[in-house]
Amino acid sequence: MDLQKLIAEVLEKLNGDNSILAQFRKDPMATVKNLLASVNLDAEQLKAIVEGVTAKLNLEDTAKQAQGLFARIKRFFGGK
């Protein structure tokens, strides 16, 4: 089973729907299990997918924060 493919599939669904993303932040295991209901996953695979999705979401959040910080610094120094 290609866990990276499943992680990408879950991320696509989360990024496309803020309500599902909010649900994931509250209960990631149940959300992933519901999103991948058609896939037979054991507990370890489910945990690995949740960890992968969480890591990628954290990385995306950090990148967005850094972009905002750089934009503010640029404006502070007279950039557009």
Count other Cβ atoms within 10 Å, centred on residue 62.
Answer: 10
Is the pTM of the predicted complex or chain greater than 0.85?
no
The parent domain of residue 72 ranges over: 3-76
Structure confidence at residue 52 (pLDDT) = 94
pLDDT on residue 80: 60
Query: What percent of the residues of the chain are helix, what percent strand, and what percent coil, each to the nearest 5?
Result: 80, 0, 20
Number of domains the chain contains = 1
Q: What is the pLDDT along the chain (80 residues), one digit of tens a residue?
A: 799 999 999 999 998 889 999 999 999 999 999 999 999 999 999 999 999 999 998 877 776 777 777 888 888 787 66
CA distance 31 to 20: 8
Q: How far apart are CA 27 and CA 70, in angstroms?
A: 32
